[in-house]
Amino acid sequence: MRKLRNWVSRKIQQRKSRREQLTRKVAHRLWLNRKARHKAGNAETDWLRAQRLVRWPWNRAAFKFVFWWRRRIEDVERNPIEAALEGLVNDLANLAIIDLLSILASLSLITGAVGYFLDADERKKQTHYQAWGVINSAVGREAESGRKAAIEDLWADRVSLTGLDIHRAVIPELNLSPQCYLAEIQFTKIVCDRASWFPLVRLIGANLLFANLQGARLWEANLEEINLAAANLQGANLWSANLEKANLRSSNLKGAILNLANLKGAALLDTNLEGSSLLKANLEGASLLNSNLVGVNLGGANLQGAYLSQANLSKANLGGVNLKDATLGGTDPAGVKYEVANLEGTRFCKTIMPNGEVRNDHCEEDWEPPSEEEE
């Protein structure tokens, strides 16, 4: 038992000795800091403060690490190699050539920055070459293959799209900003606000689902069998465009110009055509099921065999329209103008005529909208 007490006593004394030694080092460091900063105090206050700091275990661990690190630095500083290198640095610092090299380094940085800006056009050309490489390598494929980003980048930089061929391509959500416009696609033109013309563009049968073509100019564009389902074509100019058998289901054509356009057999189900102009347009066999035709101008249009069930024809102009064999079941053409419309063979079921008469001539017949295969 006596040996155990002696061992415990020695450990306690050693611990007190180490703490006192650490306190002395901390007090000395506090004294040096106080003198360097010209602060008030004396050795007694430094010692009391050091005792308070050393009291906590985490403080002791931190101080031990700091002192250990300082010893390592001092060992390096006492190394002969370090002293020799320090002398070499001092000697080099006094050489004029070092200052000259610093000036030359600064000049090289300035020259590099100037060269970077001067080469901006060349870098942009390289980017355009790479974009065309992506597009041309995927001609004839259905997969998007990175063409969406490439076309949009070229479009944003107003690069000539002469020879662009994306026929039958599936490129959903293609976004072509309204500042540049498609025009006369297929052996025709694309026009930007710079009045540039880009011929020989093919979009026949392309899949441009959810595309943004708001305000696009598509004069005489050949968009046969194109898929523009849910696309934004608000305010687009499609004068004399060929949209035969095109899929425009749920697309937005509000305020669009479709005068003389060919929409034969086109799918316009749930399409918004409010306020659009379809003067003398060909809508033969087109499906306009549940479409919005409020205020649309269909003067002289051909709607022979068209399916207009549940379509909203309120305030529409049907002057001179050919509605032969068309289906108007469930429409409510309040305010519709029929002046010289050809109604031969037109099927009526729950259709309200402009004079208030309800026509149910063909309600007994089972008329169904065209199937997707037929569209």
pLDDT digits (tens, 9 = 90+) for 10-39: 888 888 888 888 888 888 888 888 888 888
Does residue 195 or residue 88 have the better pLDDT? 88
Residues pairing with 347 in the sheet: 327
Mean pLDDT over all residues of the chain?
77
**Among the residues of 119-215, which ranges form H helices?**
120-137, 147-156
Q: From the centroid of its chain, how far is CA 347? A: 47
> Which is nearest to 276 in space by CA: 315, 243, 235, 306?
235
**Phi–psi pair at 28, nearest 5 degrees:** -65, -40
pLDDT digits (tens, 9 = 90+) for 213-243: 887 777 777 788 888 999 999 988 888 988 9
Q: Sorting pLDDT into bands at 50, 70 and 90, what band is 351?
A: low
How distant is the alpha carbon of residue 41 from its chain centre? 65
Give ∠ CA 220-141-265 in degrees, rounded to 5.
40
Q: Which amino acid is at 328?
A: L
DSSP code of residue 153: H
Say if CB 286 and CB 303 are below 8 A apart: yes
> In the predicted model, is pLDDT for residue 60 greater than 50?
yes
CA gap 247, 99 in Å, rounded: 72
Alpha helices in 94-197 (DSSP H): 96-118, 120-137, 147-156
State both tokens at 85.
Answer: 């290198």
Rounded Cα–Cα distance for residues 311 and 290 (Å): 4
Q: Is the pLDDT of residue 286 over 80?
A: yes
168 vs 82 pLDDT, higher one: 168
Average pLDDT of the segment spanning 72-80:
68
Nearest alpha carbon to residue 275 among 234, 321, 243, 308: 234
As beta bridge partners, residue 267 has 247, 287
Please tell me whether residue 154 adopts helix, strand or coil conformation: helix
SS3 108: helix
Among 58-62, 166-170, 319-323, 329-333, the range with the most confident prediction by mean pLDDT is 319-323
**pLDDT at site 340:** 52
pLDDT in tens, 83-133: 666 766 676 666 666 677 777 777 777 887 777 777 777 888 888 888 888
Q: Check residues 233 and 363 and name the one with the higher pLDDT.
A: 233
Q: Which amino acid is at 17?
A: S
CA 296 to CA 237: how far, in whole Å?
15
Give the length of the chain.
Answer: 375
| Residue 338 in this model has a pLDDT that exceeds 90 | no
- DSSP assignment of 49-87 equals HHHHHHTSHHHHHHHHHHHHHHHHHHHHHTSHHHHHHHH
Average confidence (pLDDT) over 248-256: 94
Cβ atoms of 181 and 215 within 8 Å: the answer is yes
Residue 211: count other Cβ atoms within 10 Å of its Cβ. 25
pLDDT of residue 222: 79
One-letter amino acid for residue 189 of the chain: K
Query: Where is pLDDT greater, at 94 or 327?
Result: 327
